[in-house]
Every structure is written in structure tokens, then in C-alpha cells.
Structure 1
Amino acid sequence: MADMTAKMLNSSDVSIPKGAKLTMSYLTPKEWDETAHLFDGVCQEQMHVFASERWPSMKIDCLHFKLDDELVAGCLVMHRAAPLGLGGLAVCKWGPILLDAAAPNAQQLFGDVVDMLINHYAVERRLMLSMLPRPQPAETNFAVEKLQERGFKEGAGLPFPNRYFVNVQLTDDAMRASFGQKWRAHLKKSEKNGLEFEHCDVSQMPVFYELYREMTARKQFPDYSAFDSLHHLMDNIHESARPELFLVRHEGEPVAGGVIFTAGDTSVYLYGATNDQALPLRAGYFMHWHIMRWLARQERIKWYDLGGTDGFLGLHQFKNGMVGKAGVVSQVPKVMNYAHWFMPRLLGNTLFLARDVKAQIMRRILSLKKNTPSD
């Protein structure tokens, strides 16, 4: 089920040549975002234009790591110090990112970069270093193992951690044969409905925004996805990493759309939207099939990350059928925390506990609202 990419993620370390020197340097946000597309492991969470809009109260460092003056890795780290030198937090989401994820020494490089981050943020700057490894299409996430080896402790996890990966390293026929039987049947029906698929430029984003507004109004659910930040991302991100927009039309009218991050070796489904006509037309099946076909023709891309489900059974069935026999359902790792000093550990654990309690209360409130009959 998992191919050579997943096997690489689980392979044993290959040592870095003796005497080779790993160095760290700071970049400006502009320099970072213009070069982020070079890394196989790049994702939206590691883009400055995304992180600065999503977490405006945090300072952000953009770092390059070179081995004997050759670029091998990078990392975006958000941080905030507490008053009176009592500690603070340094947060890395879905990083560090490697230039070549398939390099024989990839795991060793990842570990050595983490060592430098520990020394810089946890030891020298007296911050709790909190890292959320990127989910991987493999049974074992080597990043979690590397962090555990260095003394990181598990923090909170997502209530619904499943992550769905479609293998797009296949021919059209092999990919289609991999789908679940029901998913394949719905796709076949969608192809008889006169739908048209478009790969659009950024000028068509207003069409997608309108579809999204129609969908949220129809479903009447609170949106915590930071969708408002998508405007900023699409308007300001460097063109080398700008997400791709796809639309599906029926009789000339847009009925479904998707925004996909495609800069690294794993594409990510960021946002999708549909109107009232999409469900009977099975436009979602049609759209994702053609997105997968487009991704399969991009030499660098190996996996299509569909995201999670937030506990919705119907969404699980849809994504699980799309993953099929050739894909992988793995899990988003728990947050991993490291503190070298006592006060940063105490402060960091207190802040995370308060955040987790607040999140549990909000989930409980939403659950009560869903189960309360409307007038």
C-alpha cells in the first residue's frame, strides 16, 4: 500500500560524513517565501505569509540549514517570550522541512536540525520548544521517533487525528482501480452529468469565495478553519508556492471548487466549496478525480493529503473511498514539547493546559448546539 516514499520514511539512518558541518542562518520573510518551494517538505504551515496572518501575536524566525555550505533543510519557528525572563514558547508546525526528503541521510539531517533548534530556543533563549510533526503517509512517523529520542514529551492531540493520503504516483487506470467500490460507482455516475473541470488562475478566486459563502450559509455551521486568511494567502504568496484553484461547472455555472497547495512533494487539500446542485450531480467525486489526474502529471508530487474529517462519518466514508487500496490513512501526531529549564516547562505546560481546557469547552458547546432543536 505504501510505496518507496513511505519505505524511505521508515528506513534506518544513513550517517552524515564525518567532519561535515551543519550551520544555521536567518532569512528575511521575503527571502524565505521566495525559496520555500525548493523544499520537498514545504507546506502552507511553513510559509511566512500564512503563519504571520494566522498567528499575528507571534514573532517569526525563518531559518536555512546548510551542510558544508549546501542547503539541506529549513524551518519556520514562531515564538513569544514571557515577561521577566520567565520563559515563553517557540512553536514549529509541520517542520523542519527537508530539501530532499528522499536523500539517504534525510532522517539524520532532520535529527541534527532538531538538535540545533533545541540548543538555540530551549537552551539559549530559555523557551519551551513545541513541535508538531507533519503527518506522513506511513505507519511510523520518523519525525516523532527523532523527537522522542531527544527527550520531547507528548502533549495534546487532535480529537479526530486521522489523515487521508491518496497515492497519485499511479496511472489513471491504476488510480481508478484503487478507489473503493462505492466511490468508483459515484464517480462513474458523475461523468454522465455533463460536468466540466477547469484549472483556473487566481482571477477566478471570487467565484470560489462565492461558492464557499453559499456552502456555509446552507450548512449553517461555525467556521473555525481560518478561511478569511485565504484572501491574504492567495493575494500575497510568492507565485512559486501559490495554491492552485480548480472549478467544476454545470451548464456554465460553477457548482464546486477546490484550493490545493502543491509546492512540495505532498499536495494538501486546503479548502473546498459546493452549492446546492453539487450533491445530486456528484460534483465532488468528479472534481477530486480530475484534481488527482492533474497531480499525477506533476513530476514532483507523490501524495494528495485530503486532511481530516472533524468526526463527520460521511466525510470519512468519502475520503476513505478515495484513498482506496493504494493510499494510506495515518494520523496527525500529538504535539511534542521540550523544555531545558524549569520555568519555561512550568509556564508552557500551564499555557497548553489552559488552551486544551478552552478547546474542550468549545467542542462541548458546539455539540450541545448541534443537538438542540431549532425553533
Structure 2
Amino acid sequence: MPAILDQTVPRLDHRAPAKAQAPALSLAPELASGAQWDRIIAEFDEVCQEQLHLFSTARWPSVRQEPMVFRLNGEIVGGALVMIQPLPLRLGALAVSKWAPMLKHADHPQASAIHAGMVEALVAEYADNRGMMLSVLPRASIEPDNASYAQLRARGFQQGSQLLYPNRYIIDLRLSDAEQRKSFAQKWRYHLNKSEKAGLSFEHAEPGRLGEFTALYEAMLDRKNFPDHSAYETVPALMNTEIAALRPELFFVRHEGEVIAGALIFKAGDRAVYLYGATADNALPLRAGYFIHWHIIRWLRDNTSARWYDLGGTDGNHGLHQFKKGMAGDRGVIRPVPPVANYASRPWPFLVGNGAFMARDTANALRRHVAGLFNPAARPDQARDSGQGRAP
């Protein structure tokens, strides 16, 4: 086990084995408490919602969370929140880390070697020492090639489950108003111009107004008859955190005094993320979606250090694909989330771990099929390979 942060247990030094493909640095791993972890990673460039202890404990309360930080020459350089998922019938356990490992400084001159060192430490602890299958999912890369995923594969990780619609639509936040508008697709720009003549107003709201957004969100789900499989139950805890950098920002659009659209945005790190949006009946003809995103882009540029704005995926909705593709524009990128990367040091953990993932994927496919039977609008209508690469 790694040492416990801020205690006197000596740190373990997981050195890279000879078969490592990357020039991994030797890092010192330490386990942190949940509260320590969230405060530490609030300063990371690669921090994300899914790696927050606050989020994970609310989303998966029965799963054990192990927040692990890594030091190089005494300084914290990265980390990974690992979730320990027991398998049925005491067949073993999975060690799962989503959107990880994270770098504190993405532009560190030894970033690749630090990432490799974190992977080596995770392999040593969870695969070698504890005999688990280690499953890692890196985030989508801004570059055409996902270096983090390539590094995992070179280390011996095997390709696992992949999202049906893996593309993420990512906007460049460091553009002037004129540059950003020019980047938008022509049709997207047309609808934005129309929205600006519709008498809409934009407002940045305090966390205490979350109830207004929740009411709008729930009404939208009822109107569209969509089942909600998201992690919305985690939102109250996120909005109540004392760590300001990790608290999502809330935005509204009004028309004639009535709130008709809203959005929740995660803003920490170098990549802001669109978490949730909600609209009223009259938001579509007023093009409120174009209006709110335009102002969110400008707010993030002027009030955060984020370099990019990740709009998330589409769940196979072609209309949403067209909307996000047009917003990413010429200067943004459309990049896929890579497949899960799985590693086990022994055959049995790999066998039962893959079996567990296959069972989960089958259950999810069945759930989507049943949802489509009850609500045809929930059926995907987007081509599986549409939009990958740089936005045209």
C-alpha cells in the first residue's frame, strides 16, 4: 500500500519494471483523505469532475475510493482517484480510474515521463501487489493522437470497452469575440444573430439558485419523456463545496422576465466542461441555446484560466451533433474519448474483469434498447463515425 498522506508511514517507491515502454520517472505515491484530495487537485491543470472524491462518493456510495497523489523530489506532480469495485461471488475486484492519471501541470517539461511513472505506480499497487485488473480511461486529447492512451497500450494495457459515440466537441476559449464568431459554422452564426434580436438576457447566478435550475431540468425531462441516467444527484454536493474552484457555475437566460434556459459548467483546470443544460418550451424558437453558449464562452474566457471548453458528447443525437459541431467551428476540435485500457498481471483477474465489463456493456445495451421502444425520440440517429477530427 502507498503511504497515507500527512502521516508517518514511509512512502513506497514503485520503480518502473524493465518492460516499461516509456521513460517512466520514479514517483512516490501517497494515499490522501477525500477532503485533502479535492483541495489538492483543485490546482491541477487536468482536474475534472469525475476525479473528485466529492463527486465519486455521491455517484457510487458503495464503492471504495482511494485518492492517490504522486510526488517527484517532494513536490506533488499528479494524481489518480482509484475506485475499488468488488466483483460478485467474491471473484475479485476491479481498480478503476476514469479521466486519469492527472497531471498537476500539463505543460511540465517531463509530463510524459511523469504520466508513465504514475501508470507504473498504479500497475505495481493494484495489478502486481493486489492482483486486480486495473482499468484506466484517459480523457479525450486535444491533439489528433491521444498520447496518454498510446502510452498505456505500449505498457501492455489491452483495449476494453468503448463509448458508442465517443466524440467530444471542444471549443478554443482564447479567441477574441470576432475570432470566435468567425470560427462558428455559418449556420450556427446565423442562429446566434437571430437569438441576439429576440430580447434575451444572460445572467451568471449564485449557487443558491440551483433550485430554479433543477425545476427547469426536471420539467424538460418530463416534457421529452427522457430517462435520466446522468449523475445529476451529485450536483447539490458539488454546488455546496467550500472549494470555490471546484464549484460549478450556474447561468440562466431570460425572456420577458421568465427563465427559459440554464446551464451548469465545471470550470476548474485547463478544460471547462458543460455538465448540464435545461430549457423551457419556448427556448427553441427563440434560439436560447445559441445565446447562452455564446455568453458562457465569453464568461469562461474572461473569468477563468481554462484554455478549452468541452461541450461533452451527443449520445447519438444527430441534431445535437450538428449543434456542437457548428459551435466547435474552425478553431475548435472534435476528438474521441479513447477506449478503456485494461491491465492485469495474472490471467484470472483479466478474465473475470473483462467478464464484468462485458456484462455491464450488455446490460447498458439492453437498457438503451428498452428506452428506445418506449420513446422513439431516445433512439440514436447519428452516424457512428460522424464528426471525428478537427471541426470543418
Same fold, TM exceeding 0.5? yes
Q: Judge conservation of contact 2:65–2:84 (CA < 8 Å) in 1.
A: yes
Paired residue for 1:223?
Answer: 228
Paired residue for 2:187?
Answer: 182
Is 1:122 matched with 2:130?
A: no
Paired residue for 1:287?
Answer: 292
Q: Distance in 1 between matches of 2:340 and 2:198?
A: 44
Give 1:124 deviation, angstroms.
0.2
Is 1:362 matched with 2:367?
A: yes
Give 1:15 deviation, angstroms.
6.4
Question: Structure 1 pair 52/369, CA: closer, same or farther in 2 (3 Å)?
Answer: same
Is 1:278 matched with 2:283?
A: yes
Paired residue for 1:57?
Answer: 62
Give 1:239 deviation, angstroms.
2.5
Paired residue for 1:209?
Answer: 214
Give 5+ residue unaligned stretches, structure 2.
1-20, 378-392
Code of the aligned partner of 2:107: A
Q: Distance in 1 between matches of 2:370 and 2:107?
A: 44
Q: 1:213-253: CA deviations, max 9, x gaps?
A: 12111111111112222223222463231111111111221
Matched residue SS, 1:38 = coil
Paired residue for 1:140?
Answer: 145
Any residues of structure 2 matched to 1:67-146 within 5 Å, and which? 67-82=72-87, 86-146=91-151
Any residues of structure 2 matched to 1:242-261 within 5 Å, and which? 242-261=247-266
Q: Distance in 2 between matches of 1:225 and 1:295?
A: 24
Q: Judge conservation of contact 2:29–2:71 (CA < 8 Å) in 1.
A: yes
Give 5+ residue unaligned stretches, structure 1.
1-12
Paired residue for 2:384?
Answer: none
Give 1:86 deviation, angstroms.
4.6
Is 1:313 matched with 2:321?
A: no
Q: 1:288-336: CA deviations, max 9, x gaps?
A: 0000011112452111000001111110110000000000011111111
Code of the aligned partner of 2:179: A
Code of the aligned partner of 2:217: Y
Q: Distance in 2 between matches of 1:45 and 1:299?
A: 20
State how many pairs are aligned: 357
Is 1:31 matched with 2:36?
A: yes
Large movers: runs of 4+ above 6 Å: 13-16
Q: Distance in 1 between matches of 2:88 and 2:198?
A: 61
Give 1:367 deviation, angstroms.
2.2
Q: Judge conservation of contact 2:116–2:151 (CA < 8 Å) in 1.
A: yes
What percent identity do the matched residue pairs reach?
Answer: 48
Matched residue SS, 2:281 = coil
Give 1:184 deviation, angstroms.
0.2
Q: Judge conservation of contact 1:14–1:105 (CA < 8 Å) in 2.
A: no
Q: Judge conservation of contact 2:22–2:151 (CA < 8 Å) in 1.
A: no
Which shows bigger deviation, 332-341 or 233-242? 233-242
Q: Judge conservation of contact 1:183–1:318 (CA < 8 Å) in 2.
A: yes
Paired residue for 2:15?
Answer: none
Q: Distance in 2 between matches of 1:69 and 1:151?
A: 29
Q: 1:127-155: CA deviations, max 9, x gaps?
A: 10001111122211111101001110011
Paired residue for 2:327?
Answer: 322
Q: Judge conservation of contact 1:14–1:104 (CA < 8 Å) in 2.
A: no
From 34, 39, 48, the counterpart of 1:43: 48
Q: Normalized against structure 1, the TM-score is what?
A: 0.91
Q: 1:35-83: CA deviations, max 9, x gaps?
A: 2211000000000010111112210111111100011101100013458
Matched residue SS, 1:280 = coil
